Structure 1
Amino acid sequence: MIALLEVREARAREDLESWLEMLREAEVQAEAARQRLEHARIAREEVALMFAEGTVPAREGDGASPAPTVVEEPVRVAGAVPTGPVLREGYDARPPVWRTGLGADALCGAYRQVFETALAAPGPVTVQELTRALGRDAARLNEVEKVRHRAYALQARGWLLRERGLFRPAAGPVAQAGIPASADALSPASASG
């Protein structure tokens, strides 16, 4: 009788492990789907905003393309020295991959604002801190996600590094800006974030 109960217990343990493994896989897939949903929602909201403001670029062959809405207003960040006009919620060209010789002036609109804000920060910053420093409402998820989207794009192109959820300028752009890089700064090529 004990032997039968031990066999039953072993089978039940195997079933439990199998179900727990399926549950872990489902959680991973659910998180991936949640991220895809969030990215799609943000993209839809940004496109809807561009249509509402009339800043959607025309397709090739459509004639003249409307220019992004330009607002002459400085970025209010302690220590940052903004240059040029600020693009607000319009179409910003994707940042180029960082290479020697490129400075912050190669970035457009909000990408430039996010990079210059991270550059002016005394150390690594969270997306919420970047959002607040840019004068946006960090309590609104939509505002935080817009900044996060741009920070991730800058990270993917070698302008920023991300470590444990904190962003800081990569060593190359920091040196290009004339700011001494810290001893622990990584080059864009070695960023694994």
Structure 2
Amino acid sequence: MGSLFEELEAREAAARVRVEELEAELAELSGQLSLARESLERLRIARETVAEVLADLTPERLAADVGADQPTLGEPAVSAYAGAERRIIGVLTVPNWQPGMGSDVLPQVYRDILEVVADAPVPIRAKQIVPRIGLPAETGKIEGTRSKLKRLVERGWLDEDTPGIFTPARRRTTESPNSH
């Protein structure tokens, strides 16, 4: 009977070693998960901060920051920041809608989005717009388009009465587009 107990003890020892290995692996993965979560949070905060900064960059604000003459894309611009030079690199601004303003003031992709929404017979979602503006129906493209749609809503170009469903803006006569 001794060999049966020896076999059980050997199996128990092997199982104990396997449990210890898995616990060590779990501790390592938990550490990696924690680092990945921290990185994700930093990236989320950075994205939100950049979105806020870009949202504040109206043409008037850019003119005030770089002087009366607007430089062309990529031209060095003198900054109010300690005389340092900076380059304006592809900042796309979506101005707040005002009476008499046409979509021609918008970058082409925003004009395309407005056209698709206006042509839709019913309220439309981002995932329906993406293929109609010539983009592949991939998650990243849909999320990017959704972001543009939200920006157009914020600036009074579109309405979003139901979350995620967009319609042409009903122009308000007694309130500005931003006084929701």
The TM-score normalised by the length of structure 2 is 0.49
Question: Which is bigger in relative contact order (C-alpha 8 A, separation at least 6)?
Answer: 1
Structure number with higher helix proportion? 2
TM-score, scaled to structure 1: 0.46
Larger radius of gyration: 2
